[in-house]
Structure 1
Amino acid sequence: MQCEWCEEFGAVNISCTVFWELPDGTRAIEITNTPSIKCKNCGMEYQLESTINELEDQLILINTKKIGKSITYQQLMDQPKLLKRNYFRFD
């Protein structure tokens, strides 16, 4: 796979831990086992835009007060939504 940063081939799918600020800005949480990409050439670890959008949308749609300091990606995605979709995303 081609790396989005260095544009060389050698990027692979991985799961890693990320830290994300909640939409209200009150704190950041640790999200483990997050789908990510790692480039063997430049060493960059990053999330695809689609994964970033999924994380940000989910954090807007759920009650974040019920989340502790750390959660797995799947547990986060499984949280019940308060709204059907992110009405602030216009794309």
Structure 2
Amino acid sequence: MNEVIKLAKSCAWCESDEVGEAKKSVYWELPDGTRAIEIIETPSIICHSCKMEYQTEEMVKDIEDQLFLINTKEIGKAISYVDLMAQPKLLKRNYFDFLS
């Protein structure tokens, strides 16, 4: 799976144009609230000015949607971003997303 990051032109926090991309571990609470998991090598934005590390809103939505659509009981304490996004979906789309 070739995931493409739409690199931000400026930092969402300080608006500096000194941003880059990296793959970082992030921690996410499952939609049912039972536990949190580590998502390894998640595409991230890094600001070299304010040192903030974050995911784009699009990336956050993709992760949230995927966690709603898969059987999260089959995920251990940690999973790579690529493996998470490759998990078979139980639903076609996130029916709880009323904004899309």
Q: Name the TM-score class by shorter chain.
A: over 0.9
Normalising to structure 1: TM-score of the pair? 0.97
Q: Deviations over 1:28-87 (max 9, x none)?
A: 000001010000000000000010000000000000000000000000000000000001
CA distance in 2: counterparts of 1:6 and 1:69, whole angstroms: 33
Residue identity opposite 1:17 in structure 2: S
Q: Which residue of 1 aligns with 2:28?
A: 20
Identity %: 60
CA distance in 1: counterparts of 2:84 and 2:65, whole angstroms: 11
Q: Which residue of 1 aligns with 2:56?
A: 48
| Number of aligned residues | 91
Counterpart pick for 2:83 among 75, 80, 86: 75
Which 4+ runs in 1 deviate beyond 2 A? none
Residue identity opposite 2:18 in structure 1: G
Counterpart pick for 2:94 among 80, 86, 91: 86
CA distance in 2: counterparts of 1:63 and 1:18, whole angstroms: 19
Task: Report the secondary structure of 2:40's partner residue.
Answer: strand
CA-atom RMSD, angstroms? 0.6
Unaligned runs of 5+ in 1: none
Normalising to structure 2: TM-score of the pair? 0.89
